[in-house]
Amino acid sequence: MKFSFYGAARSVTGSRHLLEVPGFRLLFDCGLFQGRREEAVRRNRDLGFEPKSVAAVLLSHAHIDHSGILPVLPRQGFSGKVYLTRASADLAGIMLEDSARVQENDCRYVNKQEKRRGKTCIHPFYDGDDVKKIAKRFEGSRYGEQLKIAPRVTASFHDAGHILGSAAVRVKYTARGNTTTVLFSGDLGRSHMPILRDPEPPPPCDVLILESTYGDRLHEQPGEEMKKKAQDLIAHAREHRSKIIVPAFAVGRTRHPECYDEETLKTFSSGGDVFASRYIRFISSPEDSKRLNAMRGPCVIISSSGMCEGGRVIHHLKHAIQDEANVIMFVGFQAEHTLGRKLVEGWDVVPIFGVPTKRRAQIVKLNGLSAHADRNDLLAYVRAISPRPSTIFIVHGEEKQALSLGAAIQAEHPKIDVRIPHQSSTHEV
């Protein structure tokens, strides 16, 4: 059994992990790499493997860093199926369509600027037609359902509690009467968080591919202290008639009630609507979105993308970032080299659409709202696997986080072979 890691190896975005057994190759996730423009173009156009040699893709969830390069596969000869939960199938279809539109709009905007400087135009990685082609290959399933994806290979999805439809993916390979089980964690969520169910306990496995986004740190716990921080920010915005910009990952919290926890199910089944409020206004058209840039505060603008790598939030930042009364509030992880990461690191000048822009707005982080497991959650996940896996690959974390988590696991479980793969490395088990 051979594993090759073509993304999210000692880094966070562009999750792509290839599993090879005799006569069959499958891919865990096929995500968009986000970061420096030149590197992102290179790694999203050259995937590192031959898509036509891959028989199936198993998608952990719909976030773009896990699903966002799927539409290029048919262009490069992929003819298999994409297996995913039913909720992920619905959400991924919408998100990939939106990703294609965002790329087209962003390229059009950037090219207009670049043309003035005499620079080369950039092109989207895919378009709406590519999205339709890959969506036809989606094979949605229920949590726990056993799927036969090849004569000696079965797979199942187990609720990861991260976003709508998110799953840890379990694969069983049987040959000569022996079975080897691989569990890919995808992105793990947190227990006791609102709306979605808690992550399901991990099933037994021989090999674990484990995320490490927050592998070296603990989250604040949601509670009165965090509520007070949010209230103080709102009071600030009211006093200064300013804006709070929230780059959002919150796409995966609505629809598909089978994913809700008991409290949320009860709220909706009683006729309530957690999103109904005279203070909430939904914006759908580009024109209405543009009007927000000229509007005075106080207001909170929640807009994608969460790492500030595309979409309307960049336009909102462009118009708000030079006013010291405004606040940019981050509630999720920011990958290395993204605009979001530069802002949380406190850069005074950041590139927006390639133009160096002075930052005067305040930067605030509320990591207690993160939908990712922290270090203690990840260690507890490993402890819950019985019997213990013989091998663990640590992925989807920057090198510092991955190494820290790997060392902690090795200290607790010295008999486990813990590996932190490099980009494009191959390992045999």
What digits encode the pLDDT tens for the residues 138-166? 999 999 999 999 999 999 999 999 999 99
Q: Does residue 413 contact residue 224 with C-beta atoms inside 8 Å?
A: no
The predicted pLDDT at position 270 comes to 77
Say which range, 266-280, 325-339, 375-389, has the weakest mean pLDDT.
266-280
Say which range, 50-59, 153-162, 191-200, 416-425, has the weakest mean pLDDT.
191-200
Rounded-to-5 percentages of helix, strand, coil across the chain: 35, 25, 45
Q: How far apart are the first and last CA of the chain?
A: 6
Unique residue bearing structure tokens 């990461």:
341
For 224-369, CATH number out of 3.30.360.10, 1.25.40.10, 3.40.50.10890, 3.10.110.10 equals 3.40.50.10890
What digits encode the pLDDT tens for the residues 247-266? 987 665 568 878 888 888 88
Which whole-number Å values give the CA distances from 361 to 347, 349, 350, in the listed order? 11, 11, 12
The predicted pLDDT at position 385 comes to 98
Overall size of the chain counted in residues: 429
What's the Rg (C-alpha) of the chain? 22
Say which range, 34-43, 66-75, 113-122, has the weakest mean pLDDT.
113-122
Kindly state the tokens that stand for 258.
């089978």
Sign of CA dihedral 397, 400, 401, 404: positive
Which helix (H) or strand (E) is 395 found in, with range?
A: strand 391-395
Q: Return d(Cα 117, Cα 130) in angstroms, integer.
A: 31
Burial tier of 191 (Cβ tally within 10 Å: 0-12, 13-18, 19+)? exposed
Write phi, then psi, for 257 (nearest 5 degrees).
-60, -15
pLDDT level of residue 118 (50, 70, 90 thresholds): low
Q: Does residue 237 contact residue 327 with C-beta atoms inside 8 Å?
A: yes
Burial tier of 80 (Cβ tally within 10 Å: 0-12, 13-18, 19+)? buried
What digits encode the pLDDT tens for the residues 306-336? 899 888 899 999 999 999 999 999 988 888 8
The predicted pLDDT at position 129 comes to 96
Residues spanned by CATH 3.40.50.10890 within the chain?
Answer: 224-369
The answer to whether the predicted template modeling score (pTM) of the entire model surpasses 0.75 is: yes
Domain 2-217+370-428 CATH superfamily: Ribonuclease Z/Hydroxyacylglutathione hydrolase-like (3.60.15.10)
Residues spanned by CATH 3.60.15.10 within the chain?
Answer: 2-217+370-428
CB-side exposure of 264: number of CA atoms within 13 Å?
Answer: 18
